[in-house]
Amino acid sequence: MKHIFQQGTDPKVPVLVLFHGTGGTERDLLPLAGSISPGSSVLSVRGNVLENGMPRFFRRLAEGVFDEQDLVFRTKELYGFLNQAAAEYKFDRGNLVAIGYSNGANIAASLLFHYSDALRGAILHHPMVPRRGIALPDLSGISCFIGAGRHDPICAPEETEELAGLLERAGASVSVHWEAGGHQLTGTEVAAAAAWFASVYA
């Protein structure tokens, strides 16, 4: 998978794994990583799927309707890539925190839905529920931050609450931060994510 790896200055803090939104690239969220954990190593990944020329992490059938078969395949592919990257760049595979926005948050959530050991934690900016009707793995010890908009036209507040509930029932610790606006990523939401990260991983 096309990606960027940047070696951090503090080997004790989690490695940040970045997943962009639809139409983004592996460079989009690099400033976000610097705001949230300046000392972290960073692995930023580009989605392997193209939709009208725009990179994504999995296919969709329509707005808000995921191609579930492709989602499962791409999630497995990404899990394998994280294993390979840990070996190649010699970072601690068990100390990864994902940061994802929109489609990137959805693939990060899918990693949590399918693997108990994919991530140590996740910052999910405006995610949706990746799959319904499946049993989640034991997510005890995993911490998640969810950033959401009260008037998000893509991800309704009820969807945010449903995702938080599913993760909590699987054992994860979940903190939800609400913004008054829509699907955009704001400075106050990033600041809240940074404060959450510092409180959990400092």
Which amino acid is located at 178 in the chain? W
Residue recorded with tokens 């390979």: 84
Any idea which residues carry the catalytic annotation?
102, 152, 183
CA-closest candidate to residue 176, choices 110, 105, 124: 124
Longest dimension (CA), the chain: 42
Rounded distance, CA 124 to CA 193, Å? 9
Residue recorded with tokens 């592996």: 26
Residue 177: CB atoms within 10 A of its CB come to 17
